[in-house]
Amino acid sequence: MEGLAAYVNPKSAAASSDAPFSSSSAISSAASEQRQLQAFAYMILCKIMLQQPDEITGLLATGKTAAKFRDQLVVVALQAIAKAQKQRSLADFEKALSEYRSSLQSDELIRSHLTALYDTLLEQNLVRLIEPYSRVEISHIASLIGLPISVVENKMSQMILDDVLHGILDQGNGCLVIFPEPKSNTTYETTLETIKSLGNVVESLYAKAATL
């Protein structure tokens, strides 16, 4: 009966046979657009990780890809993260993470890098607050940064073990004792070079995705 129907009404049969191809083309187009959005988001993420938030404005201002994706939630979320990073505001960073949680948590690469970035931002804030002191109460630093004492104490302990902070925790008196800073090592510079290399790779992927 299907053969007879095709013989009697060939146009209908042809239209029916074209439908799967049309559907497949739509799926392929949607997947390509999703890859472009992902590449664009990774480009912004690289600028954030390289501590170049000012370059994101220029990135969003030019090009068809930017015009297409600048209002996507993940892009808006990363802009909020970049703004918090520029201002070194831990509170704004946490607010952006909370407000755009679903968009930022859905991509494993973005999630892992923002976790590392939050940790770095916390370290930077602690170092800035501790800098004027040679001895300071942990509770005082915790109140200044707006985090529980246990969280601040654990982070300070980690920073000491990682040689980010030079001192000891006097837990009996609830104090941090800071030592004079020794000669710097090249760990930070090496890490920055690695991130720059990653940025070059992502920019290359973005350029290829934009041509799809």
Least Cα distance to 37 among 77, 83, 81, 74 occurs for 74
Label residue 208 by pLDDT band (50, 70, 90): low
- Beta-sheet pairing, 167-170 with 135-137: unpaired
| Model pLDDT, residue 57 | 86
| Model pLDDT, residue 21 | 52
Q: What is the H or E stretch that residue 134 is in?
A: none
| Model pLDDT, residue 79 | 94
The model's pLDDT over 136-158, given as tens digits with 9 standing for 90+, comes to: 999 999 999 988 999 999 999 99
- Segment 177-186 long-range contacts (CB within 8 Å, at least 24 positions apart): 177/134, 177/135, 178/130, 178/133, 178/134, 178/135, 178/136
| Model pLDDT, residue 54 | 86
Of the candidate ranges 22-26, 115-119, 144-148, 171-175, the one whose mean pLDDT is the lowest = 22-26
Average pLDDT of the segment spanning 69-89: 91
Write down the mean pLDDT value for the chain. 81
Of the candidate ranges 13-17, 40-44, 72-76, 179-183, the one whose mean pLDDT is the lowest = 13-17
CB burial string 63-82: b at 16+ within 10 A, e below:
eebbeebbeeebbebbbbbb
Label residue 206 by pLDDT band (50, 70, 90): low
Label residue 8 by pLDDT band (50, 70, 90): very low
